[in-house]
């Protein structure tokens, strides 16, 4: 059985003091022995949040990471910096990074490899735009994203990656893919992994759904056979995040 995961993506929200307050509230309510809970927070919030959730089951993730060890990369964060700060997860390839910061498939592949080198768990994002869905190329497009992201990654490492399917048209819009739509794509992603690595990897790799996940739709989404939890945006900044973690 794949253990469920609910990861909050705080995006560019919460000052350090606000982050500590929110983490302090959620660490006692977003608790479920059957769910791995992760707060993915802005870089400046990492250390205070790590300190705030210490001794609890909550894990801390970063929202981004560079693929070089160190050097003249002003403003970037190296993987060993994250590890030393207490980070265990890192979001890679979010659609906002792809769109606004022009991250390519090649760059995302480098980031996944570098995260794995440092024993960080990549939360690898993929997803289609509304135009691509209307054009009927969703599954083909996402297959390409998955193949590019996992290029030259061994089965032993691939199984450590968490995949997050986030249809771009559902992020922050209030529009949610129906449970059937989300399941269709997550199942296709699992089959993509199966075709690359075989059954053993495909059957254990976790695939999350993200895109306007909230306390009302979480249970139905997470009940789907190939959906192993959620990557939660706006709702992760509210008390209702605890209700998503305790979806049943």
Q: Which CATH number covers residue 178?
A: 3.20.20.70
Residue 207 placed within a domain: yes
Going by C-beta distance under 8 Å and a sequence separation of 6 or more, which residues neighbour residue 8?
38, 39, 40, 232, 233, 235, 236, 237, 241
Residue 18 placed within a domain: no
pTM over 0.75: yes
Position 1 scores a pLDDT of: 84
Position 150 scores a pLDDT of: 98
Residue 147 placed within a domain: yes
Q: What is the pLDDT along the chain (248 residues), one digit of tens a residue?
A: 899 999 999 999 999 999 999 999 999 999 999 999 999 999 999 999 999 999 999 999 999 999 999 999 999 999 999 999 999 999 999 999 999 999 999 999 999 999 999 999 999 999 999 899 989 999 999 999 999 999 999 999 999 999 999 999 888 777 778 999 999 999 999 999 999 999 999 999 999 999 889 999 999 999 999 999 999 999 999 999 999 999 98
Catalytic residue annotation: 94, 166
Residue 225 placed within a domain: yes
Residue 45 placed within a domain: no
Q: Rounded distance, CA 98 to CA 125, Å?
A: 10
Question: How many domains does one find in the chain?
Answer: 1
Report whether 150 contacts 158 (CB < 8 A): yes
Collapsed DSSP state (helix, strand, coil) of residue 139: helix
Structure-derived torsion over alpha carbons of residues 47, 48, 50, 51, reported in degrees to the nearest 10? 120
């Amino acid at each position: 059985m794949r253990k469920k995961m609910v990861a909050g993506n705080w995006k560019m929200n919460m000052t350090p003091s606000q982050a500590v307050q929110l983490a302090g509230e959620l660490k006692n309510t977003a608790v479920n022995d059957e769910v791995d809970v992760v707060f993915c927070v802005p870089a400046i919030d990492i250390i205070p949040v790590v300190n705030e959730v210490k001794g609890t089951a909550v894990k801390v993730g970063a929202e981004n990471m560079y693929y070089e060890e160190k050097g003249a990369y002003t403003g970037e964060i190296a993987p060993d910096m994250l590890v030393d700060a207490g980070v265990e997860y890192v979001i890679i390839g979010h659609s906002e990074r792809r769109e606004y910061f022009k991250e390519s498939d090649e760059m995302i592949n480098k980031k996944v490899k570098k995260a794995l080198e440092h024993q960080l768990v990549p939360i690898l994002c993929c997803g289609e735009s509304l135009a691509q869905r209307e054009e009927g190329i969703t599954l083909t497009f996402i297959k390409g994203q998955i193949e590019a992201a996992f290029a030259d990654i061994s089965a032993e490492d691939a199984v450590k990656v968490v995949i997050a399917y986030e249809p771009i048209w559902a992020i922050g819009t209030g529009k949610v893919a129906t449970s059937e739509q989300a399941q269709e794509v997550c199942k296709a992603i699992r089959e993509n992994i199966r075709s690359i690595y075989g059954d053993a990897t495909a059957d254990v790799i976790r695939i999350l759904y993200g895109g306007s996940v909230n306390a009302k739709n979480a249970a139905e989404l997470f009940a789907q056979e190939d959906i192993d939890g959620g990557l939660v945006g706006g709702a992760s900044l509210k008390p209702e995040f605890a209700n998503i973690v305790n979806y049943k």
